[in-house]
Structure 1
Amino acid sequence: MPPLLDIRCIYLEPGVEAHARGREILARFPDAERVPVASHWRIPELREGDAGDYLRNKREVLVLGVKKGMACRPNGRSADFIAPSSSNGCAMACAYCYVARRKGHANPVSVFVNIEEICAAIARHAARQGAKPAPNQVDPHDWVYDLGENGDLSLDAAVSDNVRDLVALFRGLPGAKGSFATKWVNPALLDYDPRGKTRIRMSLMPPALAKLLDVRTAPVAERIRFMAELHRAGYEVQVNFSPVVLREGWEAEWGALFAELDAALPDTLKPHLAAEIIMLTHNAALHEVNLSWHPKAEALLWRPDIQEEKRSEGGQVNLRYRTPWKGRWLARFQALLARHMPYCRVRYAF
């Protein structure tokens, strides 16, 4: 199997080499071709290239940029706030990923090199919040900042020390906690010393589904084993059942996953475990992208017979499971989880 990353081309914005982190990353890949670009968002050969290059670009291309916007946006689901991102894009290729809808068919890892400014912006925002006035479904004590809205920080940690710096930031930041979801197993995270101030949400689905939909990700069994290691290393570990994709026999395969998870988790983790449950959301533009490189996935993702259009908060028209069927299916999913893992609290489900 080819490596997840084999960087041969680096696109870089002006100013990247003026930052120590930019120089560090370039030194890690000395043989890669360097291509100056005006903006990490405007690279036509990535946005408009042959969809057949989809996976090759993810493996061989890295984009380096300088983060401009430093706002922390309110969230309320996975986190209280979305932090200014240290990256976007991903070397993995989950067939349902919404980031591809924003960046064309190719969205390789893009890393922002001004990590000191990003950390400083988060610290200033957290200081302005003061103590959390009351518990909420995100966290009972801390303000939680999502650090990886448009990427996978476990993988980003193989490219730069940005993730190490973010974990160190929250380790010493009163009243605040970092959080990110991942589908990758990176043992380097185990020596970051998070001291309970970084939450890692391991994304899981039944292995047969993951083999089809979670392209280039870590096998589900490895993700489950890694949860125990992350817990012992001092992370707050939660689980993200996402997306829930419905097909014939879904209750049996999810029940088997819950049983495997219950058997593997250490007893010290179970009382603190919480979950997010996210039913599949799809999109016509992503459907067209997927047909060009992974049509088998669309047989499960594109189900107009049980889906309906719904406009998202951002104004985009997406496909979701039909109301009220979705509500009934979600209730059955939660009952199944409670039967196998009664200790697992559901933080939110939609």
Structure 2
Amino acid sequence: MAAAEPLTLFDVGPPPTPMRPNRLLQVRRIYAEPAAADSPRGRQVLGRFPGAEVVEVPSHWQIPELHGNAGNVDRWVRVKTETLVLGVRKGLATRPNGRSADFIAPGPSNGCAMACAYCYVPRRKGFANPITVFTNIEQITAHLRRHVARQGPKTEPNQCDPDSWVYDIGENGDCSVDALVSDNVADLVATFRDLPTAKASFATKYVNRQLLELDPAGRTRVRFSVMPDDDARVLDVRTSRVAERIAAVDDFVEAGYEVHLNLSPVVLREGWEEAWTDLLRHLDDVLSPAAKAQAAAEVIMLTHNEALHEVNLGWHPAAEDLLWRPDLQEPKRSQNGQDNVRYRAGAKRAALARLQGLVRDHAPWLRVRYAF
């Protein structure tokens, strides 16, 4: 299918500063809804990648070259590296969660430049699913301010937070990588800095030290995802190494972030208990007293998906040796209606108990606030 004609932009003002060279993003093509490209945030993104071809599309959901295109399987990583999408987020709904966060906010993006083999996000749009930047950030932040105001103060503590309403702002992407592309994440951090009854929260597998300059004032929670490095080298494709994530924790605490750890995903394989023991001991050895004093953890067992399994076989079959375990897994219907597989109830229950025991033994300061 031939690409649409390149989009011509007018009245773009002074060009923004191009993005610093980065191995994750060497963008050559940007698919853009016209309204998104003509917005201030859209112009910022286009200015960060001045050499990219801009192709007009009617909707960020309607790009046949990307979505549902099985031919992209063997270009999985290349698509994520060389392609961006600009769109306008139409639905501004905040929905209850109650697990990791009190609420799931309308996020500033969809998709990711990284390529974790177990990621659920590609299931929504199909195949590589590079970053889509939503350019109507002013509407997103205004919606969140109104939603927080309606909640009033948090009067009863829960597993999300004892005092503040917690809003996950990165459900369908990685905010640390998004912050390389635009100021959407900076705007969200600034928004929550001024909301004394609420916190932003996002999980990440990428260390972006530009975030240290944002002054979150304790109102943004960064959840660094960690797993044994041998697993991560196979499964966490294009991410920061686990040791680098752990090494960043103290710096982010010092910069004013609340920093938690996601022990996620927990993959059951031969030697998994010894591998997690080594990781927990490393955390205990290297984190500062200040980091430990404010730390908490989520423990999340692997959930996989048969459709994603088939896709992975086309670009990264080695990952499926770890992820696809029919001998240990059973079907599961997720909250968003996906037909997934998870570890069988008995095996999952035993593994969760064992891992929480390892935490008590080797990192007793690490409060497990959520295990699933």
TM over 0.5: yes
Structure-1 residue corresponding to 2:339: 317
- The one-letter amino acid paired with 2:44 is E
Q: Which amino acid in the other structure matches residue 24 of structure 2? A: L
1:39-96: CA deviations, max 9, x gaps?
1111111120331111000000010111111111100011100111100100000000
Q: Aligned equivalents of 2:337 and 2:39: distance in 1?
A: 36
The match for 1:108 is 130
Instruction: Specify which of 112, 116, 126 is matched with residue 148 of structure 2.
Output: 126
Q: Which residue of 2 aligns with 1:255?
A: 277
Identify the residue that residue 257 of structure 2 maps to in structure 1: 235
Displacement after TM superposition at 1:316 (Å): 2.2
Write the mapping of 1:92-171 to structure 2, written as runs, cut at 5 A: 92-171=114-193
The one-character-per-residue Cα deviations of 1:302-341 (angstroms, maximum 9, x if unpaired) are: 0000111122222322111112121011100100011011
How far 1:216 sits from its partner (Å)? 0.3
Matching residue's letter, 1:22: G
Residue 153 of structure 1 and its aligned partner are, at CA, apart by 0.3
Query: Retained in 1: the 8 A contact 2:37–2:86?
Result: no
Matched, 1:183 2:205: yes
| AA matched with 1:140 | P
Measured in 2, the distance between the counterparts of 1:312 and 1:23 equals 37
The CA distance in 1 between the partners of 2:263 and 2:320, in whole Å, is 20
**Structure 1, 277-286 or 98-107: larger mean CA deviation:** 98-107
Unaligned residue ranges in structure 2 (runs of 5+): 1-20
Selected match of 1:265 from 287, 308, 312: 287
CA RMSD of aligned residues (A): 1.1
Pairs within 5 Å for 1:1-350: 3-47=23-67, 48=69, 49-350=71-372
Q: SS in structure 1 opposite 2:261? A: strand
Distance 1:39 1:316, change over 3 A: same
Q: Normalized against structure 2, the TM-score is what?
A: 0.93
CA drift of 1:190 comes to 0.4
Counterpart secondary structure, 1:324: helix
Identity of aligned residues (%): 62
In the alignment, the residues of structure 1 paired with residue 355 and residue 332 of structure 2 have an alpha-carbon distance, to the nearest angstrom, of 22
TM-superposed CA distance for 1:167, in Å, is: 0.5
Q: Which runs of 4+ in 1 moved over 4 A?
A: none
Superposed displacement of residue 155, structure 1: 0.5
Opposite residue 37 of structure 2, the aligned amino acid is E
- C-alpha distance in 1 between matches for 2:121 and 2:234: 19
Shift of 1:261: 1.1
Per-residue Cα deviation, 1:208-255 (whole angstroms, up to 9, x for no partner): 100000000001110000111100100000000111001001011111
Q: Shift of residue 2 of structure 1?
A: 8.0
CA distance in 1, matches of 2:143, 2:54: 29
Query: Structure 1 residue 12: deviation in Å?
Result: 0.3
Query: Displacement of 1:98 after TM fit?
Result: 0.4
Whole-angstrom CA distance in 1 between matches of 2:298 and 2:313: 29
User: Residue type matched to 2:360 in 1?
Assistant: A
Q: Secondary structure at the match of 2:253?
A: helix
Partner SS, residue 94 of structure 1: coil
Q: Deviations over 1:255-314 (max 9, x none)?
A: 101111111111012122100000000111000000000001001100000111122222
Q: How far 1:18 moved relative to its partner? A: 3.0
Deviation at 1:346, TM superposition (A): 0.6
Letter in 2 for 1:139: D
CA distance in 1, matches of 2:228, 2:81: 25
The normalised TM-score by structure 1 is 0.98
Q: How far 1:17 sits from its partner (Å)?
A: 3.0
Shift in alpha-carbon separation, 1:24–1:315, aligned structure 2, 3 A: closer
Q: Find the aligned partners of 2:367 and 2:201 in 1 and give their Cα distance.
A: 17
In structure 2, relative to structure 1, the CA distance for the partners of 1:229 and 1:14 (3 Å cut) is: same
| CA–CA distance in structure 2, aligned partners of residues 111 and 249 of structure 1 | 40
Counterpart of 2:32 in structure 1: which amino acid?
A: L
